[in-house]
Amino acid sequence: MPHVRIVHLALALALGLAALAGCGPKKRPDGTLDAGSTGAVTAVPTAVEPKADAAHGKELVAQFQCNRCHDGLAQIEPAPQNKHCVHCHRDIMDGKFKGKPDTIARWQPRVKDLQDAPSLEAAGKRMAARWLEDYLLLPVDLRPGLVQAMPRLDISREQARDIAAYLVAGEVADTAPAPRGDAGKGRQILESKACGTCHAFSGVAFLGGTAAGALAFTIDPKELPRAIRLAPDLRHVRARMSPKRARAWLADPKAVKPDTLMPKVALTESEITDVLAYLYNATLDVPPAKGVPARLAVLSRRVTFEEVDRKVFHRTCWHCHSEPDYAIGDGGPGNSGGLGFKPRGLNLSDYNGIAAGFLDGNNERQSIFAKDKDGVPRVVRALMARHAEEAGAPTGEVRGMPLGYPALSLEDVQLVETWIAQGRPRT
């Protein structure tokens, strides 16, 4: 009975994968199992690849707290102001945060680059489910003008698929190819309509900036800097959105996504066809390999805790790894848990917290200074893993820190490493 055996193998595989992902087979409301429950011979493909579950995806979006950075999630409110990583920073920039003017002025340069994340409104009218799934597993840099990045979350393939299903909200994939336009003309239109005011297009010749003549669009000058930060690199369009959706977008961005900052650009139907021909068919250069930089040798001068604390721990790390009592019971995602991470109990806000280390998978305390087989302290490994993530290189089991924020300069990593090598003096 070869068929039956195949079904069982597929079922075992599906269940095994689900169990590995820590989320077991899901029960349907009628009590049957989701994975391979039909048991029919024809069900082999479904058993291997269970159907994405949008309702579960919505639960996961709440669990991963995507609403602390992203607005525009269907049926999920933005996180309250005191938890919202983007709104709070933006309020500080816009002068809406209550506080002493000199304190606000001191904060502003720190949060200037942390005040934007794209809203996910109408994600399904723009982005393909498959692209979303891959992106959630391994985020790439989509916006050269945006410093903050999408953090690498602790997400399984199944979870990413369910979240993607929630985000696309029933929009079905359409696979029609790009219409046959004139890519050469399309390129000229991108230049003459000054799309490069906001967009980079990596892999092709530079688009140029603002057009000298009258612009083909209007935008409130106050909104322009944010529009530039939020404009994606057009390189990714062909993987992210179908030509049909890109056409609707170019015809009227706000009709697709009301909260978008992209203005409507005057384009005729045939101009759009030509632009699409270029967006989808232009030959893209392979991006130059960024390479993971090498660590600097430890310094010979003395490094005090005061210096590493001021320049690293109490500057950048502290915001996610703080003393819980101080922040109304929330020590940040790197201490009390959050963004889908379990509490790791790592308080980087003072010397004792740093010395106490973090909780491992078995809830046992581990030192952040413990050396790995190459003699690299765990915390230095985490700082270099962020450099590796930014370069698109594999990083191994240690997650890059600071999570989703620019890697520390090599000089700052050197400072941390030197302080550790000098025996972590308290003064």
- Binders of ligand HEC among residues 259 to 318 (CB under 6 A) are 260-263, 265, 275, 312, 315-317
How near is the Cβ of 240 to ligand HEC at its closest, in Å? 5
Main-chain dihedrals φ then ψ at residue 283, nearest 5 degrees: -70, 130
The single residue among 8, 26, 83, 130 that binds ligand HEC, judged by CB under 6 A, is 83
Judge whether 413 and 295 are in contact, CB under 8 Å: yes
**Among positive and negative, which fits the CA dihedral 419, 422, 423, 426?**
negative
Cβ contact 197:190 at 8 Å? no
14 binds ligand HEC (CB under 6 A): no
Q: How far is the CB of 268 from ligand HEC (least distance, A)?
A: 12
Tokens of 59: 């639960």
Nearest residue to 152 via CA among 413, 405, 410, 409: 405
Q: Of 96 and 302, which has the nearer Cβ to ligand HEC?
A: 96
Residue 148 touching ligand HEC (CB under 6 A): yes
Identify whether the C-beta of residue 245 lies closer than 8 Å to the C-beta of residue 173.
no
Contact present, 419 and 368 (Cβ < 8 Å): no
In angstroms, give the least distance from the CB of 119 to ligand HEC. 6
- Rounded to whole angstroms, the Cα distance separating 24 from 119 reads 31
Angle (nearest 5°) at CA 29 between 15 and 74: 95
- Residue 64 or 419 having the CB closest to ligand HEC: 64
Pick the binder of ligand HEC from 249, 277, 349, 384 (CB under 6 A). Answer: 249
* Identified binder of ligand HEC from the candidate list 33, 36, 124, 197, rule CB under 6 A: 197
Supply the minimum distance, in Å, between the C-beta of residue 12 and ligand HEC: 29
Choice from 277, 344, 384, 387 touching ligand HEC (CB under 6 A): 344
Closest approach of Cβ 299 to ligand HEC, in Å?
A: 18
For ligand HEC, the binding residues in 321-340 under the rule CB under 6 A are 321, 333-334, 339
Q: How far is the CB of 1 from ligand HEC (least distance, A)?
A: 43
Q: What is the C-alpha to C-alpha distance for residues 250 and 264, in angstroms, rounded to an integer?
A: 7
Using CB under 6 A, pick the residue from 128, 146, 303, 308 that binds ligand HEC.
146
What is the CA angle 133-135-137, rounded to 5? 75
Q: Which of residues 379-418 bind ligand HEC (CB under 6 A)?
A: 379, 382, 398-399, 401-405, 408
46-50 LR contacts (CB < 8 Å, sep 24+):
47/7, 47/10, 47/11, 47/13, 47/14, 48/10, 48/13, 48/14, 49/14, 50/14, 50/18, 50/158
Closer residue to ligand HEC (CB): 358 or 419: 358
**Where does this chain touch ligand HEC (CB under 6 A) — which range of 32-40, 103-111, 172-180, 290-298?**
103-111
Span 47-76, contacts to ligand HEC by CB under 6 A: 61, 64-66, 68-70
x-marked contacts with ligand HEC along 209-248 as a string, rule CB under 6 A? --------x-x-------x--xxx---xx--xx----x--
Cβ-based nearer residue to ligand HEC, 7 or 88: 88
Q: Which is nearer to ligand HEC, 7 or 168 (CB)?
A: 168
In sign, the C-alpha dihedral spanning 341, 347, 348, 349 is positive
The only residue of 33, 52, 150, 168 in contact with ligand HEC, by rule CB under 6 A: 150
Q: 165: exposed, middle or buried (C-beta count within 10 Å: 0-12, 13-18, 19+)? A: buried
**Choices 46-54, 86-94, 302-310, 387-395 (CB under 6 A): range interacting with ligand HEC:** 86-94
Assess contact for 76 and 67: CB atoms under 8 A: yes
Query: Residues in contact with ligand HEC, total (CB under 6 A)?
Result: 89
Residue from 4, 16, 20, 82 touching ligand HEC (CB under 6 A): that is: 82
Q: Is the peptide bond before 377 cis (omega within 30 degrees of 0)?
A: no
